[in-house]
């Protein structure tokens, strides 16, 4: 599957972006925000993903909008971003593509 130039650009943004440093999820275990946490070793005692818990982490986050915008532009919708679940992000991404609002004007092309 090929990805667009804009998607590649968005994925690179995260390296130099300032907003992740203000994220409310810094230090939060992956399983809290990723329903499919494939990086965690199999541990039956490990707590499972819980939507309400994930939304609670994101609710007070000062960079919800930046996080969601980045996730939708980079097409990284496996985890929770901006308080939205993966399926909600896919729906929101489709809506933005349809309305031509996915990309900021300077990146659209
Ligand atoms: S919105 Fe949620 S996932 Fe995104 S940076 Fe904030 S706490 Fe982390």
Q: Please give the distance, rounded to the nearest whole angstrom, from the Cα atom of residue 60 to the centre of ligand 1.
A: 9
**What pTM does this model have?**
0.86
| Å from CA of 44 to ligand 1 middle | 26
Answer whether 85 contacts ligand 1 (Cβ < 6 A).
no
Closest by Cα among 41, 24, 35, 29 to 82: 24
Percent of the chain whose predicted confidence (pLDDT) is above 70 = 86
User: pLDDT at residue 39 above 70?
Assistant: no
- Ligand 1 centroid–CA 65 distance in Å is 9
The reply to whether ligand 1 has any atom less than 6 angstroms from the CB of 23 is: yes
**Rounded mean pLDDT, 25-35:** 93
Indicate the domain borders of the chain: 5-98
Q: How far apart are the first and last CA of the chain?
A: 20
Q: Could you report the per-residue pLDDT of 5-19, keeping only the tens digit for each?
A: 888 888 888 889 999
């Amino acid at each position: 599957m090929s990805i667009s130039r804009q998607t590649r650009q968005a994925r690179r943004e995260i390296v130099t972006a300032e907003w992740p440093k203000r994220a409310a999820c810094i230090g939060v275990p992956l399983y809290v925000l990723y329903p499919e946490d494939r990086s965690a070793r199999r541990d039956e005692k490990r707590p499972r993903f819980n939507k309400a818990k994930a939304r609670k982490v994101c609710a007070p986050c000062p960079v919800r909008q930046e996080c969601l915008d980045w996730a939708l532009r980079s097409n990284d919708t496996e985890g929770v971003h901006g308080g939205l679940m993966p399926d909600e992000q896919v729906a929101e991404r489709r809506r933005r593509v349809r309305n031509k609002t996915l990309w900021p004007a300077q990146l659209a092309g």
